[in-house]
Structures are given as C-alpha cells and as structure tokens.
Amino acid sequence: MNIEQLDFYTQAVLSLAALVGLTSFLMLGQGRLLRLIFVFAVQGFLLALTTAVAAYSLNIHHLYISAVLTLVLKVIVIPWMLRRLVLQMNMHRDVEALKNNSAVMLGGASLMVFSYYILHPIVQTSSIVMLNALAVSLSVMLLGMLLMISHRQAVAHVVGFMSIENGLFFAAIVATHGMPMVVELGVAFDVLVAAVLFGIFFFHIRTSIDSLDVDLLNRLSEVDK
C-alpha cells in the first residue's frame, strides 16, 4: 500500500514510531551521559507528540492531559534532574568506552528485526498501525534492557529503565487509544517518584565508593571490624 493513500493519523503514527525506535537505537552508542540524557528527552518529546496526535485524530480529549504530563515529566523534569546530577557529580566530561560497541549496535538492530518477526503472526490481521506500534514498543523495551546491560554507569541504567517505560507507554497510547486517566496519573506519579529515589541513591553510592560504575559494586566485600 502506498503511504500517500493512508490517512493523516496512520502516516503520523508510522513516522513517529520510526523516530521513537531510532532514538532507542541511538542511546546504545552514546558514551557521554549528557548526550544520552538529551536523546532520552527527544524520545519523551516524540511520545508527547504521539499522544497529542492521537488525541486530535481520535477526538479523545483526556489524552491532551497525558501529552502535557509526558512533556513536563519526560522532556523537562526528569532530564533536568538527571543532567543536574551528572553536573553535580562532575561526570559530564567522562566518556564511557563501550565494550564491543559494534556487537552492541548489531545486537540492537537484531532486536528490532526480532520484534517485528515475533509480532507479525500475532497482529497480521490487524491494521498496519497496530503492527508497528507493538513492534516498536517491544523493540524499545528490549533496547532499554540492552542499554542497561551494555553500559556500566548507573545513570545509563536509569535511562534504560525509563526507556522501557516509554515503550509500554507508546503501546498503550497507540494500540489501546490511551489508558484510563486515573491510571495515567498514577504512572506519571510513579515515574517521578522513581526518578527522585534514583537521584538519592546516586548520591549515596557516589559517597560510598566515589563512583557510579556498577562494575565496582561487584568488587565490594564485607569487612569485619
């Protein structure tokens, strides 16, 4: 089917889904934490834009509130908190040398192909929007897990965790036309609380071992006094 024959909502969602998947893929290759946080903020902006497009096209007014919450939390508040923590801990100049960077990027591309392969038989009778929404959502979650595995910095692990939540949120918005408003407010509050708690843990870990490298945590051992 020619994409020009599709309606505005389908074209917009397909384009935004491709961009959301691209941002998750770009996170894998980021060695600087500030760049990683910036790409995460871009992904949050794409989610907010997707929510606004769904609200406009499907005439679901409460999704406008979800779009505003996503914009405030995932584009402004949480990236600002993470950036502030990185600057306070003087980690903005650190460059994380990824092990087997080519293998990580190849693994990320394989996960995206795997997501489409495993979901195609399930939703082959559904619309093209459903297929792409679920496939991109699954790939974003898998790439978020891969980000947590491949990076050593605790901040990158938090970004990976938040990226997994972004994948679930994208599926809920596109595939189910939005969750109930009470659920969306609860999820937004939980994400904000999680970001605050992560910031507190960062300071405690940095104070204890003078680093946020999670590999150093494996070397800790109990010492008898």
Q: What is the pLDDT of residues 19-78, one digit of tens each?
A: 998 998 888 878 788 888 899 999 999 999 998 988 888 888 888 888 888 888 889 888
Asked if residue 225 belongs to a domain, the reply is no
Asked if residue 191 belongs to a domain, the reply is yes
Asked if residue 42 belongs to a domain, the reply is yes
pLDDT in tens, the chain (225 residues): 555 666 778 888 888 988 998 998 888 878 788 888 899 999 999 999 998 988 888 888 888 888 888 888 889 888 888 888 888 777 655 555 566 777 888 888 888 888 888 887 776 666 777 788 888 888 999 998 888 888 777 778 888 888 888 888 888 888 776 666 556 666 666 666 666 666 666 655 655 555 555 555 555 555 444
Q: Where are the alpha helices (DSSP H) in 59-180?
A: 62-70, 78-88, 101-119, 128-150, 154-175
Residue 130, domain extent: 3-217
Asked if residue 94 belongs to a domain, the reply is yes
Asked if residue 55 belongs to a domain, the reply is yes
Measure CA 173 to chain center.
15
In the chain, the number of structural domains is: 1
Asked if residue 152 belongs to a domain, the reply is yes
Distance CA 99, CA 61 (A): 46
Nearest-CA neighbor of 116 among 97, 106, 130? 130
